């Protein structure tokens, strides 16, 4: 069980003091950043020279109130650590992003999503209050009633308004198992029609749906993955071994069933980084047998990927084989469900990347969030695609970034939004129109008056 609350709170308080001390030690002209062992950002950036802020005491679950179904959590606590504690109480965060090393603070300031988002929205919507280290070097509490402007602007600010050092979040009860149905569709229109029905009824073929996402392999082969919590005992699958989860989804027709423990369900995508572990040979049966299980996880693949980017290994291999370098196309976009088939048809005809992940979402509350203004009450589909394309195949242009620019334009034309964890190419005016503009700057002026933290546009778009 977790450590006694008094010890956890004392350790957290000491961690906050170390964080503040490290902040005060940064010269006024030097950049401020967190010292993080892992990152789930995919933006091209120069290597930072300044030491990061000390977050060593901000990585734990501080307390769980099982009766109130809440948890106080340090901002740098990973979801892997958070879920390991809350599941002991039969509880889970309302949304658990799919990769183990995503931190709670990171998911709130940078947005997160998963298969409960069609009913629970995004992670920041279950935050009750936060303690935030602002650019002014002060720790302030933000909630719907205390510093509400910072509370509502914090989601999608990516650390440019401050860093969450403590978050109080809502939890929900979960069953020990998840019964899965993988439903195949032969047209995207049929899949999206079924998804829209689940949005409205919470069920499919009369069976409740607690978890909902999907995969597109082609225009003629796509699946909805429907999960229902279950307390019934019985055999479960394990995709941390030779089996690969996304391959288990595929079948010729109709519906197949599967069953996972709740923990294995929450991390079903992490073992193979969705399908991206294939780039490292981890899906080759021979290599997989030699690849230790503890290294079959997204954090390892991410380190390998960053090493490749640092030394441009892929481009060197392409050049040796007489091929052009490749453009990284790693994006998640939100498109209104009624425009999603249009986007997918365009994407499949234009960008040579499959599979594609689908994750439906609808804001849980009735207020928009200024830095990522999805419309309350409107149904969206998150479309995720993560790969590379040859620069010469970038449609309509030969310059680097052409495919990403095309995607941005298409998403904008369909009244959608793009997450900012990867490369972006918007002009300042376009960016302001999409991501809060003056509302962001007003909060920035109040809580970071000396601009100690990077501006959001500079962080998300401009190169350094």
| Local confidence pLDDT in tens for the 464 residues of the chain | 554 566 889 999 999 999 999 999 999 888 888 876 665 555 555 545 556 899 988 999 999 999 999 999 999 999 999 999 999 999 999 999 999 999 999 999 999 999 999 999 999 999 999 999 999 999 999 999 999 999 999 999 999 999 999 999 999 999 999 999 999 999 999 999 999 999 999 999 999 999 999 999 999 999 999 999 999 989 999 999 999 999 999 999 889 999 999 999 999 999 999 999 999 999 999 999 999 999 999 999 998 988 777 767 666 666 777 777 889 999 999 999 999 999 999 999 999 999 999 999 999 999 899 999 999 999 999 999 999 998 865 555 456 789 999 999 999 999 999 999 999 999 999 999 999 999 999 999 999 999 999 999 999 998 64
Backbone angles phi, psi at 31, to 5 degrees: -70, 150
Residues 33 and 142 in one domain: yes
DSSP class of residue 279 equals G
Domain assignment of residue 412, given as a range: 312-425
Can you give the pTM of this predicted structure?
Answer: 0.92
Domain count, the chain: 3
Among 40, 36, 38, 37, which residue's Cα sits nearest to residue 273?
Answer: 40
C-alpha distances in Å from residue 154, one per residue of 134, 144, 443, 459? 11, 12, 9, 15
Q: Please answer whether residues 379 and 337 qualify as being in contact, where contact means their C-beta atoms are separated by less than 8 angstroms.
A: yes
Residues 151 and 248 in one domain: no
Residues 243 and 255 in one domain: yes
Is 440 a member of any domain? no
Q: Which residues contact 154 (CB under 8 A, 6 or more apart)?
A: 108, 109, 124, 130, 132, 142, 161, 162, 164
Other CB atoms within 10 Å distance of the CB of residue 324: 14
Residues 70 and 157 in one domain: yes
Rounded Cα gap, residues 266 and 48, in angstroms = 33
Q: Please answer whether residues 323 and 392 qualify as being in contact, where contact means their C-beta atoms are separated by less than 8 angstroms.
A: no
Residues 335 and 419 in one domain: yes
Is 321 a member of any domain? yes
Among 406, 359, 361, which residue's Cα sits nearest to residue 383?
Answer: 359
Rounded Cα gap, residues 454 and 464, in angstroms = 11
Residues 106 and 247 in one domain: no
Is 400 a member of any domain? yes
Q: Please answer whether residues 107 and 79 qualify as being in contact, where contact means their C-beta atoms are separated by less than 8 angstroms.
A: yes
Task: Write out pLDDT tens, residues 239-287.
Answer: 999 999 999 999 998 899 999 999 999 999 999 999 999 999 999 999 9
């Amino acid at each position: 069980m977790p450590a006694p609350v008094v010890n956890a709170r004392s350790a957290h308080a000491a961690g906050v003091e170390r964080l503040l001390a490290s902040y005060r030690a940064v010269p006024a002209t030097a950049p401020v950043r967190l010292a993080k062992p892992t990152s789930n950002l995919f933006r091209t950036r120069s290597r930072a020279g300044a030491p990061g802020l000390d977050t060593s005491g901000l990585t734990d679950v501080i307390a769980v109130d099982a009766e109130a179904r809440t948890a106080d959590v340090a901002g740098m606590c990973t979801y892997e650590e958070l879920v390991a504690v809350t599941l002991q109480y039969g509880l889970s965060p309302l949304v658990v992003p799919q990769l183990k090393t995503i931190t709670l603070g990171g998911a709130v300031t940078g947005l997160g999503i998963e298969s409960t988002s069609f009913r629970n929205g995004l992670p920041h919507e279950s935050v009750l209050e936060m303690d935030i280290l602002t650019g002014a070097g002060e720790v302030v509490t933000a909630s719907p009633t205390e510093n509400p402007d910072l509370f509502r602007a914090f989601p999608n600010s990516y650390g440019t308004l401050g860093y969450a050092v403590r978050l109080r979040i809502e939890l929900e009860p979960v069953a020990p198992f998840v019964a899965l149905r993988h439903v195949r569709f032969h047209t995207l229109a049929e899949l999206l029609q079924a998804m829209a029905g689940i949005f409205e009824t919470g069920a499919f073929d009369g069976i409740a749906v607690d978890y909902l996402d999907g995969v597109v392999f082609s225009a003629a082969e796509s699946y909805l993955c429907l999960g229902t919590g279950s307390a019934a005992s019985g055999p479960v699958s394990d995709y941390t071994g030779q089996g690969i989860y996304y391959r288990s989804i595929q079948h010729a027709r109709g519906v197949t069933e599967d069953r996972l423990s709740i923990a294995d369900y929450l991390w079903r995508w992490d073992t193979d980084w969705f399908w991206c572990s294939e780039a490292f040979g981890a899906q080759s049966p021979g290599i997989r047998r030699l690849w230790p299980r503890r290294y079959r996880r997204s954090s390892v693949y991410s380190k390998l990927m960053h090493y490749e980017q640092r030394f441009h290994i892929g481009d060197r291999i392409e050049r040796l084989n007489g091929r052009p370098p490749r453009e990284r196309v790693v994006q998640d976009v939100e498109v209104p469900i009624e425009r999603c088939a249009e986007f997918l048809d365009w994407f499949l005809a234009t960008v040579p990347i499959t599979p594609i992940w689908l994750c439906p979402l609808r804001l849980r509350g009735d207020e928009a969030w200024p830095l990522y203004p999805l419309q309350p009450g409107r149904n969206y589909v998150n479309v995720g695609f993560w790969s590379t394309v040859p620069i010469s195949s970038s449609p309509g242009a030969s310059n680097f970034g052409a495919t990403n620019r095309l995607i941005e334009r298409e998403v904008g034309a369909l009244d959608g939004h793009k997450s900012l964890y990867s490369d972006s190419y918007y002009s300042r005016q376009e960016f302001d129109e999409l991501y809060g503009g003056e509302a962001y700057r007003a909060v920035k002026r109040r809580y970071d008056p000396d601009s100690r933290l990077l501006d959001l546009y500079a962080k998300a778009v401009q190169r350094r």
